[in-house]
Amino acid sequence: MKARGLLAVALAATAMVVAPVAAQANVGGALPLPGFGAIVVDQAHKHVFVSGGPTGNSIVVTDFSGDVVKQITGEFGATGLALSADGATLYAALAAGDAVAAIDTVKFTETARYATPAQTCPTTLARTGQYVWLGYGCDGNWSGGIGRLDTAAATPAITLGQQGNAVFNGAPLVAAAENGPVVATQPNLSLSTTDVYTVNAGALQAGASGTVTGSDVQDVTVTPDGATLYTAAGSEDHVAGLATADLSGRGAYATGHFPDAVRISADGGYVATGAYTSAHKVLVFKSGGTTPVNAVGLGDSTTASRGLAWTTDNKRLFVVTQQTAGGAPGLAVVLDPTEPCTLLC
């Protein structure tokens, strides 16, 4: 889905599309992963971490050009990822390992593993301050919930059941701003429930809740100030903005059918979206804008669900790509994604 700073695809067997656009793009190689779980950017060390999802057992590390520099193995079903506040530790939810792993971001070695009970399938992660929040729950199991890992505790351990009265089928998608709130959304189902929580002394306090995000939610993200959440729901033709205080509308960004990825830039100024459409484009909007400032083409590939990540300086947008026929994911790097394009927008 996407075209401008022309990027091509990072998929082995995917043709590179080159178009006359204003910005450059780097092309990475196919990722040695069976699927895709999550992507995070380590700005301090200029690395990107990509997990392989519930059926993979590793995390791939690339540089900012998209080239693989390391594969961290033995991470069973690594899916959700989150960085510590200082960037020294990567946390990985091990959906097939019933644990959350802590990994040194310099040495790329595991330093700790925090267990969850058997068959809890920790899948998604978000962080506020010292607390890592995990969405857990195995597929088809209505015992999903939110867990907490207090990384500053003398003996860190995971505590489940932090979601209050909310009920989830499988693991909820969790997202958060640095100082809260924490948002939990039911993926895939119709209708999808979204619950917003404030964080008070390490405890979640329930706030707004509702089914206003549509059906088949694929992605959710929160603005840096915590005031707005954005959802990409397969039943819609746009990414929706909602106030975290009461879930009232805060704008919409037209994507075409089946939006499946959305990420806000670190300064809150731009919204990047992906959708499973024949256009195969990533669209970048100025926050509050109507017309994309950039449209990045992905050739024969689409954006993987939840497959977008920004650098904190807005100089690069990383896109995890997936061929429509399936297979291994790839990684594309869009340079200067916020610069208005002169062609193909």
At 230-259, the pLDDT tens digits run 999 999 999 999 999 999 999 999 999 999
Domain 37-264 has CATH 3.40.1440.10: no
The whole-number average pLDDT for the span 289-314 is 93
CA dihedral sign of residues 62, 313, 252, 185: positive
* 267: region left, alpha or beta (phi > 0 left; psi from -120 to 50 alpha): alpha
Structure confidence at residue 98 as a pLDDT band (50, 70, 90): very high
Domain ranges of the chain: 37-264
Choice between 31 and 141, residue whose per-residue pLDDT is larger = 31
pLDDT above 70 as % of the chain: 90
Helix (H, G, I), strand (E, B) or coil at 36: coil
Phi and psi at residue 261, to the nearest 5° = -155, 140
pLDDT at position 280 is 80
Structure confidence at residue 28 as a pLDDT band (50, 70, 90): low
Contact 287, 299 (CB under 8 A): no
pLDDT at position 139 is 86
* 95: region left, alpha or beta (phi > 0 left; psi from -120 to 50 alpha): alpha
Contact 330, 320 (CB under 8 A): yes
pLDDT in tens, 172-216: 999 999 999 999 999 988 889 999 999 999 999 999 999 988 899
Q: Which of 101, 106, 107 is nearest to 149 (CA)?
A: 101
Tokens of 182: 């924490």
Average pLDDT, the chain: 90
Alpha-carbon distance values, 226 to 72, 186, 222, 231 (Å): 32, 19, 6, 14
pLDDT at position 152 is 97
pLDDT at position 19 is 35
pLDDT at position 341 is 62
Structure confidence at residue 29 as a pLDDT band (50, 70, 90): low
Strands (E), 137-227: 145-150, 158-159, 173-176, 182-185, 194-200, 203-210, 217-222
pLDDT at position 273 is 97
Asked, as a colleague might, if the bond just before 344 is cis with ω within 30 of 0, I would say: no
